[in-house]
Structure 1
Amino acid sequence: MPELPETQTIAALLNKNLKGRKIVTVQVSKDYRALPSTEIFIKAVTGKEIKSVRRVAKNILIELENGNHILFHLAMTGRLLLWNDKIGNERWVKVILHLDNGVKLTFSDMRVFGKAAVLSPKQTQELEARYGPEPLDKKTTHQQLVDRLKTKRTNIKNALLDQEIISGIGNIYATDALFLAKINPFTKTSEITLENANRLLDSIRSVLKESIKLGGSTLNDKMYVDPFGKEGKYQEHFKIYSKEKCPVCGSKVSFIKISGRGTYFCPSCQPLNKQ
């Protein structure tokens, strides 16, 4: 968390509200290190106009007038918030961008797993090249997905979280997509057929689009909110994630950790080796 729908929601709102604004001053907390260094970060972004804000995988990129980008990776507990006046009770604020219209953009991170960095155009290209195809890109095909899956020797759940195979998908949406596609999370990537990949990519797109429409998912920890502090609503529409009974057949939902990630699935609707 946040995954593709959450970062897409944040990027879209920041683009709408920050495009054309100039960064007047920058504050970085003394206990935090922006990359490549706090000094370079502040110098590189101060006085620059914001051209656009977009998402790459789970990263948020703010394009500046000189071609450089500010990168924010929110990891588990990062948040980006916009403030028209004083910064409220937001805790763990690490970076503040003061804009020419008085608005402030804050980056906070409780567990400090996130990242704030400035990237050159070359570094931005290298970042983009590290990720697999975007699931919502119309150019991403079912054949492409199955071919990339077969390059890895693992189970399908792990593969969907591998950002080199397909970008932006995290635990929640992998879990829900596999349920809709009726694929057991333990299915080996070598056993995924083109028919499986057809159902799976369609299911991935379905849950991602629905979540984006609903503003993402806000869990019980309330860590994710959009830049205006609004919670997402997809958690009210989870397909199988966090459920105890299957919404399709009524069977008890199985819960197990795969590579440390909590995984929910229905043994009846998602039988192993019957894909």
Structure 2
Amino acid sequence: MPELPEVETVRRALAQHLCGQEVTAVQVLNPRLRMAVDARALAGLVGLPLQAVNRRGKYLLLLFSGRILVCHLGMSGRFSLSLPGEELPAHTHVVFAFTSRQRLVYVDPRRFGLLLLVDREELIPFFPLGPEPTDVSAVEQQLLVAKKRSKSPVRNVLLDQKIIAGVGNIYANEALFAAGIRPQTPMGRLTRKQISALSVALRQVIERAIAAGGTTLKDGSFRNALGDPGYFAVDLAVYDREGQPCVRCGKGIRRLVLTGRSAYFCPSCQH
């Protein structure tokens, strides 16, 4: 599933290539997503310019006059830019045409994504999300509250979007390695010093991943809107590296399963 750095990479490409362009046509080829795509509502975007492309957590927000197209890529969704005449990829759901002749194509093989048009005043209750992981002070406060309330492993707490927005499994594992904390450590056992270190590590890992264009793993599932992969995979310290030597101490990276999802850690560098 695309996490914050991947979504931010897509946001930047769409903002660069489409902002200021008017929608000239919307074609819904397959409405079946997490929620059925409302073709009639999307048709109302024709003639409106795309004013901005924002992001909140893992959500993309395409701003039009009075309206916002809320987009979530789910597990396999992706946006791509193309020109008329280029063959549409398999599993294309929606095609937006713009005055620049560019097309914004939404592809989603597993159909867990979301394209929902809402009025701007409807957006606030739509997002019961925590702070962005780059806001160190706010994240630290959230984790201090979670320390008092949660008995869950710290990795699971980091994945709770109501506590911190945008963090997924890849970057939770990487931040925990950077902070020297094992993913299975109960949240309530963390010290204030560890929470402070984790808050800083989250921001650093997220910012490095954004600079690298996100993470494309071996399956090649993530491509940005221009079709390019993300290069943060070469910098991964623990994620998906079971049995490989730790980049710090050389000991083998271990894997365990927490609530059905893999977590990775170094038994020497993380405590």
Is TM-score (shorter-chain normalized) higher than 0.5?
yes
Query: Could you tell me the percent identity over the aligned residues?
Result: 32
Residue 101 (structure 2) pairs with residue 105 (structure 1): no
Is the partner of 2:95 in helix, strand or coil? Answer: strand
The alpha-carbon deviation at position 118 of structure 1 amounts to: 0.6
8 Å contact kept, 1:159–1:189: yes
> Could you tell me whether the CA contact under 8 Å between 1:216 and 1:232 is conserved in 2?
yes
What residue in structure 2 maps to residue 183 of structure 1? Answer: 181
Q: Which amino acid aligns with 2:135?
A: D
In the alignment, the residues of structure 2 paired with residue 220 and residue 140 of structure 1 have an alpha-carbon distance, to the nearest angstrom, of 34
Equivalent residue in structure 2 for 1:217, among 207, 215, 219: 215
SS in 1 for 2:198: helix
Deviation for aligned residue 1:2 = 0.5
Q: Which stretch of structure 1 is more off in the superposition, 155-164 or 136-145?
A: 136-145
Q: Provide closer, same or farther for how the CA distance between residues 30 and 186 of structure 1 changes in structure 2, counting only shifts above 3 A.
A: closer
Deviations 1:68-118 (A, max 9, x none): 111111111101001134333522110100001100000100110111111
Question: Do the aligned partners of 2:132 and 2:139 also contact (CA within 8 Å) in 1?
Answer: no
TM-score normalised per structure 1: 0.92
Cα deviation for residue 257 of structure 1 reads 1.4
**Distance change (3 Å), C-alpha of 1:138 and 1:266:** closer
Q: Greater CA deviation, 156-165 or 254-263?
A: 254-263
Counterpart for residue 63 of structure 2: 63
Paired residues of 1:146 and 1:193 also in contact (CA < 8 A): no
* Cα 1:141/1:31, change in 2 over 3 Å: closer
Residue 136 of structure 1 deviates from its aligned partner by 1.2
Matching residue's letter, 2:72: H
Name the counterpart of 2:87: 88
Q: Quote the residue 1:157 is aligned against.
A: 155
* More displaced 10-residue stretch of structure 1: 92-101 or 148-157: 148-157
SS in 2 for 1:150: helix
Counterpart Cα distance in 1 of 2:178 and 2:252: 16
Q: Is the 8 A contact 1:143 1:194 kept in 2?
A: no
CA-based RMSD of the aligned residues comes to 1.8
Moved more, 201-210 or 138-147: 138-147
Q: Tell me, in whole angstroms, the C-alpha distance in 2 between the residues paired with 1:239 and 1:37.
A: 39
Flag as ranges the 4+ runs of structure 1 deviating above 6 A: none
State the match for 2:27 in structure 1.
Answer: 27
Residues in 2 aligned to 1:21 and 1:149: alpha-carbon distance in whole angstroms: 47
Gaps of 5+ in 1: none
**3-state SS of the aligned residue for 2:193?**
helix
Indicate yes or no: 2:213 matched with 1:195.
no
Contact conserved, 1:23 with 1:97, CA < 8 A, in 2?
yes
Partner of 2:238: 240
1:7 corresponding residue in structure 2: 7
Displacement after TM superposition at 1:270 (Å): 1.3
What residue is the counterpart of 1:255 in the other structure?
Answer: 255
- For residues 30 and 109 of structure 2, what CA distance do their matches in structure 1 show? 15
Contact 1:149/1:165 (8 A) holds in 2 = no
AA of the residue aligned to 2:184: F
The match for 1:167 is: 165
Decide whether aligned partners of structure 1 residues 245 and 259 sit closer, same or farther in structure 2, where only a CA change above 3 A counts: same
How many residues are aligned here? 269
Structure 2 counterpart of 1:215, one-letter code: G
One-letter amino acid of the structure 1 residue matched with residue 269 of structure 2: C
Write the mapping of 1:69-84 to structure 2, written as runs, cut at 5 A.
69-84=68-83
Q: Say if 1:181 and 1:200, in contact at 8 Å, map to a contact too.
A: yes
The farther-off stretch of 243-252 and 137-146 is: 137-146
State the partner residue of 1:229.
227
The alpha-carbon distance between structure 1 residues 30 and 254, as it changes in their structure 2 partners (threshold 3 A), is closer
Q: 1:184 to 1:165 in 2, by over 3 A?
A: same
The 2-side partners of 1:37 and 1:94 are apart by 9
Secondary structure (helix, strand or coil) at the match of 1:102 reads: coil
